[in-house]
């Protein structure tokens, strides 16, 4: 393996191609359903099975969804656009061509802004085009390979970025932002584990300061953010090592194996000319009118970046918290509802990002607590009527059984204890009972102090005001000294 010193001399150049399955009810060129996980070959017809003479008809909804993707990523939308045949032979592609787009893609020249350690960075989007998905090969151990055509003809968009990405972290941030934006538009559920959002990583390396582009490898169909990061890190080191050893890199397609964490060559990479693109004579030129664009624009909700701005400016969230809250549209909608009902929106955000996030299953977006109830917890916490521990317990109880938290606090007597006389009484007891911990604290052990605070808190049944407890303990111990 090459040393860190050698790696330091190089930089990586990355462009991402992302395929997104559109959430249309039927396929892109026929009326077969698109449901995931159906019995093999139960969702296909002569058109998507590529039988001779069958004629494709473009699904309007797929076109509208693709335009929305372009609008949401700041692209120019073409007023006319064509569909091409992209020829290659593969057993799960019965036509031996895929209907895609070549020189006149639907969307071009967009961008997305991402947050990096060094601030905001803009990643260019070269193009977005529409195309059909291929079928699936199912390999049976020792019994050959079967073909499932169900996925053939599912509508896809391919989103191609400029080679603007310079690190694995930037690649991840771009993918997360892209996925969030697409999900806001409602055109795809972007489930990486079901393949409805998948990514090809194009990566080359060059010496820092060089301007030209190196020879790229394309790593196909990576289906998790973590694997994207690992594949990039591995591939960067591999390419640098090859160059340092005096080898010549070839443009090739590779695959990432998550078990070994390595990439393996699959084939040398075709160039566009090898595909013999030709306009598909079965499909007319697509025209996109200004009217249609206006209508689709009006259907796009407020996107993450706009919301982020609003949450930092109006509600005082940190950029980081605002970024997290806006990743999922459902979470952002929920936050807005609750935030409007309390004077403490920052506390609402904190509870969503910590207490509620802990209770949610991976991928769960719904929150079984009425926004008005979470707002009430934030209000009580903000006003000091309950402490943060009680806030956490209330969230947990409401998660199981949603009810009015104010009543719960009253019934169970959960109000915060801030009375100095009561807390001083407990503090004196704790000091008397724990001489060793007190002297540990005095000799500089910070953990000892937290232990004393914990003891007092215990005597209050977890309802003490932690700030006041700390003040009292310090005052009593140092006075004694």
Give min distance, CB of 212 to ligand ADP, in A: 9
Return d(Cα 169, Cα 236) in angstroms, integer.
Answer: 13
Nearer to Zn ion, 54 or 451 (CB): 54
Site for Zn ion in 395-454 (CB under 5 A): none
Dist CA 390 CA 399 (whole Å) = 14
Q: Name the segment binding ligand ADP (CB under 6 A); options: 139-147, 197-205, 312-320, 468-476.
A: 197-205
Part of the chain binding ligand ADP (CB under 6 A), chosen from 13-21, 27-35, 57-65, 371-379 = 13-21
| H or E, element range at 257 | strand 252-257
CB of 320 to Zn ion, least distance (A): 46
131-190 residues near ligand ADP, rule: CB under 6 A: 160-163
Secondary structure letter of residue 190 according to DSSP: -
- Confirm if 252 and 266 have CB atoms less than 8 A apart: yes
Place of tokens 């025209």: 287
Cβ atoms 215, 251 nearer than 8 A: yes
Partner whose binding site includes residue 15, from Zn ion, Mg ion, ligand ADP, none (CB under 5 to 8 Å by kind) = ligand ADP
Total binding residues toward ligand ADP, as defined by CB under 6 A: 16
The structure tokens listed for 120 are 């905001």
CA-only gyration radius of the chain, Å: 29
One-character DSSP codes across 45-92: -TTTTT-TT------HHHHHHHHHHHHHTTPEEPSEE--EEEE---TT
- CB of 253: closest distance to ligand ADP in angstroms? 9
Scanning residues 7 to 46, which ones bind Mg ion (CB under 5 A)?
A: 17
Quote the tokens at residue 346: 């920052």
Binding status of residue 216 toward ligand ADP by CB under 6 A? yes
Measured distance CA(143)–CA(181) in Å, rounded: 43
Closest approach, Cβ 15 to ligand ADP, in A, equals 2
Which CB sits closer to ligand ADP, 103 or 294?
A: 103
**C-alpha–C-alpha distance, residues 319 and 333, integer Å:** 17
DSSP single-letter state for residue 33: B
By C-beta, is 273 or 421 nearer to ligand ADP?
273
Nearest distance from residue 285's CB to Zn ion, in Å?
23
For Zn ion, what does the binding mask look like between residues 24 and 63, x meaning CB under 5 A? ------x-x------------x-xx---------------
Indicate the residue among 105 and 391 with the shorter CB distance to Mg ion.
Answer: 105
CB of residue 220 vs ligand ADP: minimum separation in angstroms?
10
Residue 228 touching ligand ADP (CB under 6 A): no
H runs (alpha helix) in 245-344: 290-298, 304-315, 319-325, 329-339
Q: Return the ∠ at Cα 117 (arms to 256 and 304), rounded to 5°.
A: 85
169, 218, 244, 406: residue in contact with ligand ADP (rule CB under 6 A): 218
**Residue 252 makes contact with ligand ADP by CB under 6 A:** no
Beta bridge partners of residue 155, listed in sequence order = 132
State residue 160 phi and psi, 5-degree precision.
-105, 125
From Mg ion, Zn ion, ligand ADP, none, which one binds at residue 437 (CB under 5 to 8 Å depending on kind)? none
161/342 with CB nearer ligand ADP:
161
| Residues of the shown chain interacting with ligand ADP in the complex, contacts defined by CB under 6 A | 13-17, 160-163, 202-204, 213-214, 216, 218
| Residues of the shown chain interacting with Mg ion in the complex, contacts defined by CB under 5 A | 17
């Amino acid at each position: 393996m090459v040393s860190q010193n050698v790696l330091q001399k190089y930089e990586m150049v990355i462009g991402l191609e992302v395929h997104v399955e559109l959430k249309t009810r039927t396929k892109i060129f026929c009326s077969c359903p698109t449901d995931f996980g159906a019995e093999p070959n139960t969702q296909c017809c002569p058109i998507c099975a590529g039988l001779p003479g069958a004629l494709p008809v473009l699904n309007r909804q797929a076109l509208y969804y693709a335009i929305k993707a372009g609008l949401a990523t700041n692209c120019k939308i073409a007023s006319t656009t064509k569909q091409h045949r992209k020829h290659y032979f593969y057993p799960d592609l019965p036509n031996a061509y895929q209907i895609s787009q070549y020189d006149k893609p639907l969307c071009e020249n967009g961008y997305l802004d991402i947050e990096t350690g060094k601030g905001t960075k803009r990643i260019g989007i070269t193009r977005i085009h529409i195309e059909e998905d291929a079928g699936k090969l199912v390999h049976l151990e020792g019994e050959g390979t079967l073909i499932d055509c169900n996925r053939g003809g599912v509508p896809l968009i391919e989103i191609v970025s400029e080679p603007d990405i310079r690190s694995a972290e930037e690649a991840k941030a771009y993918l997360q932002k892209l996925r969030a934006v697409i999900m806001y538009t409602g055109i795809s559920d972007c489930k990486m584990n079901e393949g409805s959002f998948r990514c090809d990583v194009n990566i080359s390396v060059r010496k820092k300061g060089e301007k030209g582009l190196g020879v790229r490898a394309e790593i196909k169909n990576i289906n998790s953010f973590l694997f994207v990061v690992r594949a990039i890190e591995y591939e960067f080191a591999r390419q640098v090592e090859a160059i340092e050893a005096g080898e010549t890199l070839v443009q090739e397609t590779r695959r990432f194996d998550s078990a070994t964490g390595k990439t393996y060559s699959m084939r040398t990479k075709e160039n566009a000319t090898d595909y013999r693109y030709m306009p598909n004579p079965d499909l007319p030129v697509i025209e996109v009118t200004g009217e249609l664009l206006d209508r689709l624009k009006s259907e796009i909700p407020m996107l993450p970046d706009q919301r982020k701005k609003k949450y930092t400016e109006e509600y005082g969230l940190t950029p980081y918290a605002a970024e997290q809250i806006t990743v999922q549209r459902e979470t952002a909608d929920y936050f807005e509802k609750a935030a409007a009902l309390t004077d403490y929106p920052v506390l609402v955000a904190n509870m969503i990002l910590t207490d509620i996030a802990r209770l949610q299953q991976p991928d769960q977006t719904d929150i079984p607590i009425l926004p008005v109830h979470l707002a009430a917890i934030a209000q009580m916490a903000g006003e000091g009527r309950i402490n943060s521990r009680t806030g956490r317990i209330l969230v947990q109880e409401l998660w199981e059984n949603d009810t009015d938290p104010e009543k719960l606090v009253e019934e169970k007597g959960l109000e915060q204890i801030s009375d100095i006389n009561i807390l001083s009484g407990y503090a004196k007891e704790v000091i008397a009972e724990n001489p060793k911990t007190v002297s540990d604290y005095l000799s500089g052990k910070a953990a000892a102090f937290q232990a004393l605070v914990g003891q007092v808190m215990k005597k209050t049944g977890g309802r003490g005001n932690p700030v006041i407890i700390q003040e009292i303990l310090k005052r009593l111990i140092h006075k004694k000294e």
